[in-house]
Amino acid sequence: MIKHAHIEALKTMLGPKGWYEDAQDTAPFLHEWRDRWVGQTPLVIMPESAAQTEKIIQYCAAHTIGITPQGGNTGLVGGQIPMGEILLSTRRMNAIRAIDEGNASLIAEAGATLAAVRAAADEAGFLFPLSLASEGSATIGGILSTNAGGMEVVRYGNARALCLGLEAVNAQGQVWDGLSALRKDNRGYDLKQLFIGGEGTLGVITAASLKLFAKPAARETAWCALPSPHAAITLLEFMTQKCGDAVSTFELVPQIGIDCALRNIPGNRAPLAGPSPWHVLMELSFAQASGGRQVMESALGKALEDGLISDAALAQSQTQRESFFRLRESLSAAQKGEGVSIKHDIAVPISAIDNFIEEASAAVQKIVPGCRVFAFGHIGDGNVHFNVLSPKGAELNAFKERADAITEAVFECVLDLRGSFSAEHGIGVARIDALQKYKTAPEIAMMRAVKSALDPVGIMNPRVML
């Protein structure tokens, strides 16, 4: 229980627009969007600057008051939901501070949404390539704190690769100005990489220098039908050989995903005339305005001829392109109307994706016969969202009771293939047990040493990760 005097002191530091404490006002911050976690907090604080964040954290460190940082509240492992701690929202730190066109970089505050950053880059004539279904609410601070990936990782890399520098407030309440936008900087440890993927356990990211790219002059988008994940891997290799780094998006989609999206998300349309066991959403990006369509058509024609794909639809307009991406982006939300979904965010070598899906699917069927495997994701970087839906008509509580056994079976398949049980969603509170089980003792010891050194009092997201 946090003392009333501390609550009043924090409110005074923030001013009347910098906090919420009434239940009606705090409720949106405390509900995870899938309703898996509902938290509690005596106070939601919203600092407006790094300097104000510095004072808040200094006070909390001095009085051992736990802090849960939160960006857009789009996280999937519960790391942004407090259970009695102060909730620190970055939503008021949302400015685009600067764009350096000569350096192809942008400085955005942590509370800026991904959509706002992409729009600012676009207006300046650049591309910020990270793309997520939640970009209208996901914030830069949260995206970096979980090292999110998105749909163009195959060409541009994940959040870690797109960040040049950070401004952050550490757990002692000291502002670290590491906003250098250098491409090369070998002055000792790369400290920003501790905060990226750190899930707010070492401090609060308040701003970031982000890497920008030239906007493609043309994009060609296709939806392809194919028989298996193995065929998708072969198609990715084929397209990379034919088109090089023009391949910017390569997403694996199962037929069950299309069926659920059509059934549960209004406005979606099937991209092809008939069903197929598996599909790929693929996009090529070109520096030249002309010639891209011919490249795509030639590659698809050869893929059809070689039997790599059974059908394909090439987007004929921006509207059709958007409909393809909307269908892909609907896959997570589409599961909400299907009963209970046990979710896993894993990564394996690209060459092992087909083996993983086959082995994990067989393993979960043994545990719950009739369960529905809903596996999709960013095949270009080996990231599979392996979700297991309850059997149709199943008693949901009985299915939920098998959740731990299902997850353990999935993770054992991942481990056998030298993969990771967390690809881009993070550890949060959902995967703490898995971290302890599957990380080696030296790895855990090093992580704890970092946490202890940078957050000796243990106030930053104290229930998360370790």
Percent of the chain scored above 70 by pLDDT?
100
Query: Which residue from 446, 383, 456, 430 is spatially nearest to 199, judged by alpha carbons?
Result: 430
Q: What is the distance between the alpha carbons of residues 322 and 142, in angstroms, rounded to a whole number?
A: 25
Q: Which helix (H) or strand (E) holds 253?
A: strand 247-254
pLDDT above 90: residue 35: no
Whole-number pLDDT of residue 235: 97
Cβ atoms 42, 6 nearer than 8 A:
no
pLDDT above 90: residue 393: no
- Please report, for residues 75, 214, 281, 317, the alpha-carbon distance to residue 277 in angstroms, rounded to integers and kept in the order given: 30, 36, 14, 26
Q: Which helix (H) or strand (E) holds 305?
A: helix 292-305
Three-state SS at 105: strand
Q: What is the distance between the alpha carbons of residues 465 and 126, in angstroms, rounded to a whole number?
A: 36
Cβ atoms 212, 126 nearer than 8 A:
yes
pLDDT above 90: residue 33: no
**150 confidence band (pLDDT: 50, 70, 90):** confident
Tell me the Ramachandran region of residue 391: left when phi exceeds 0, alpha when psi lies from -120 to 50, beta otherwise: beta
**336 confidence band (pLDDT: 50, 70, 90):** confident
pLDDT above 90: residue 68: yes
Whole-number pLDDT of residue 441: 95
